[in-house]
């Protein structure tokens, strides 16, 4: 028997590298999908009921919500709407405080914009002064993330307000809140006072709907009009429409998962302390762990044992770091056992 062979439950791979809900969706989602009728699948989907349900959950009017095929579609539409240059006009800029979701950089390039990166501080605290200094008359999007991916560190809401006050009138301050449920914090209540801010949300993470691709943008209708024009017609499918409405009727399921995540993070922090590994307190469903020279051993050793974690060592400020999803406690315990085995052998 190979040294790397483990119990059968790991053979299919434990996905701790994509920040997914490893417990899956609420049973009510499966019930809703099973009830879809042939005509609902055969016709283009209506969005009013799902939009209203999302708006109620987020505490805003329905005309402030635009459903998207995953938050990724919303990000691309935002980039096209605000960064696409006109013939003979200036090249518009996006500001990305690093480290950040790589799609911000990708979409800026695809839309023909110019990327302005703000490098991180050693402790990953928000480089507010540096962000403000990067703003120019050509700035059209400032990408902010709260909590940050891949660090899990929060951005103070007052920092977002400050950026919004200093941005050019034509610019959008985009706040990526993909992990807001885990942080128990959102900028959405501030949107009425800051019409130049658009918030992005996804139901892939906390709600376990990654496979159905459903997210949304939230903001002032007049600032969202240009974004809506860049979103394909009927891009959100009927299964996603049914799923999000069902998921939002089962917030007890969500709360149970959030408690699992909290316990998982505490377990991983304690394991890192035992092993002498640096980590950052996370307000998301993952933890950024610095393994230093032992990073390759950790990532490759976990993979050999059927566990996927994300090597983020090439990201600005993240040398020697891996991001580990912290969802269900049973999965976190499996990873900790592997981490202790691998790193102890690597010493």
Six token digits for residue 215: 């997210």
Return the pLDDT at 196: 98
Return the pLDDT at 13: 87
Return the pLDDT at 118: 98
Position 329 pLDDT exceeds 90 = yes
Return the pLDDT at 264: 98
Return the pLDDT at 9: 44
Higher pLDDT, 88 or 245: 245
Position 4 pLDDT exceeds 50 = no
Return the pLDDT at 344: 85
Lowest mean pLDDT among 5-19, 154-168, 224-238: 5-19
Instruction: Give the up-direction half-sphere exposure of residue 8: CA atoms within 13 A in the CB hemisphere.
Output: 0
Q: Give the burial string for 157-173 (b: 16+ CB within 10 Å, else e).
A: eebbbbbbebbeeebbb
Distance from C-alpha of 52 to C-alpha of 245, rounded to nearest angstrom: 9
Q: What is the pLDDT of residues 146-188, one digit of tens each?
A: 999 999 999 999 999 999 999 999 999 999 999 999 999 999 9
Q: Where are the alpha helices (DSSP H) in 87-134?
A: 102-110, 128-134
Return the pLDDT at 345: 75
The model's pTM? 0.94
Q: Give the burial string for 203-219 (b: 16+ CB within 10 Å, else e).
A: bbbbbbbbebbbbbbbb
CA 84 to chain centre: 24
Using DSSP bridges, classify how beta strands 307-308 and 278-279 pair: parallel, antiparallel or unpaired: unpaired
Over its C-alpha atoms, the chain yields an Rg (Å, rounded) of 21
Position 71 pLDDT exceeds 80 = yes
> Which domains does the chain show, CATH number per domain?
8-24+252-346 (3.90.1150.10), 27-247 (3.40.640.10)
Six token digits for residue 54: 């999302």
Average pLDDT value for residue range 36-58: 98
Instruction: Give the up-direction half-sphere exposure of residue 239: CA atoms within 13 A in the CB hemisphere.
Output: 9
- Mean pLDDT over each residue of the chain, to the nearest integer: 95
Q: What is the pLDDT of residues 75-133, one digit of tens each?
A: 999 999 999 998 888 999 999 999 999 999 999 999 999 999 999 999 999 999 999 99
Matching residue, tokens 């902010």: 144
Phi-psi region of 316 (alpha: psi -120 to 50; beta: other; left: phi over 0): beta
Distance from C-alpha of 171 to C-alpha of 142, rounded to nearest angstrom: 8
When pLDDT is cut at 50, 70 and 90, the band that residue 46 belongs to is very high
Return the pLDDT at 347: 66
Cβ atoms of 233 and 100 closer than 8 Å: no
């Amino acid at each position: 028997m190979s040294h790397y062979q483990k119990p059968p439950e790991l053979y299919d791979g434990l996905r701790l590298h994509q920040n997914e809900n490893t417990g899956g969706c609420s049973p009510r989602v499966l019930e809703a999908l099973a009830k879809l009728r042939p005509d609902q699948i055969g016709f283009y989907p209506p969005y009013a009921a799902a939009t209203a349900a999302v708006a109620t959950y987020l505490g805003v009017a329905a005309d402030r919500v635009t459903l998207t095929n995953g938050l990724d579609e919303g990000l691309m539409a935002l980039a096209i709407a605000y960064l696409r240059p006109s013939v003979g006009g200036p090249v518009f800029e996006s500001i990305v405080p690093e480290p950040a979701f790589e799609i911000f950089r990708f979409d800026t390039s695809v839309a023909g914009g110019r990327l302005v990166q703000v490098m991180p501080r050693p402790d990953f605290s928000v480089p507010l002064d540096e962000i403000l200094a990067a703003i120019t008359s050509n700035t059209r999007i400032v990408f902010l993330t709260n909590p940050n991916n891949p660090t899990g560190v929060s951005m103070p809401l007052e920092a977002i307000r400050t950026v919004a006050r200093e941005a050019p009138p034509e610019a959008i301050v985009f706040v990526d809140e993909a992990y807001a449920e885990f942080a128990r914090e959102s900028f959405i209540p501030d949107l009425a006072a800051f019409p130049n801010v658009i918030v992005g949300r996804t139901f892939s993470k906390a709600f376990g709907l990654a496979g159905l691709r459903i997210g949304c943008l939230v903001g002032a209708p007049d600032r969202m009009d240009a974004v809506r024009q860049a979103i394909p017609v009927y891009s959100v499918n009927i299964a996603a429409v049914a799923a999000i409405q069902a998921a939002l009727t089962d917030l007890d399921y969500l709360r149970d998962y959030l408690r699992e995540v909290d316990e998982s993070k505490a377990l991983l922090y304690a394991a890192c302390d035992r092993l002498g590994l640096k980590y950052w307190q996370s307000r998301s469903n993952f933890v950024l762990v610095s393994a230093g020279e032992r990073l390759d051993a950790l990532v490759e050793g976990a993979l050999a044992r059927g566990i996927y974690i994300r090597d983020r060592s090439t990201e600005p400020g993240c040398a020697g770091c891996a991001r580990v999803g912290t969802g269900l406690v049973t999965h976190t315990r499996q990873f900790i056992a592997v981490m202790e085995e691998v790193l102890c052998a690597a010493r």
